[in-house]
Structure 1
Amino acid sequence: MYDDNGTLIDTVVPNENTLVVFLSDKFPHEVLPAKKKRHSIAGWFRVDKTL
């Protein structure tokens, strides 16, 4: 994960039984290629603005 200046602020290692939750629009990030078989779930929460 990176800050607004593109500086690396944290690295998340995919350990078994680990859940990582963050605001993807607030933290630039990348997903590197897996070197072993893995399972992942991605989801998004959305809030509709009322008029």
Structure 2
Amino acid sequence: MPKELIFSYLIFLFDHHKFMLNTITKTYTGVNVLLILIKKLLSKIRENF
């Protein structure tokens, strides 16, 4: 295998992992925000009843 091919493959893997990490981080943040909103909603419902 030529060195250029190996190098470009490594860059591809690195970019892919970076993309995956960004997606996971965004999903995690989104879930956290949703949980906070749900907790706020539940506490408001409890205050009303």
- Structure-1-length-normalised TM-score: 0.20
Higher helix share: 2
Who wins on radius of gyration, i.e. which is larger? 2
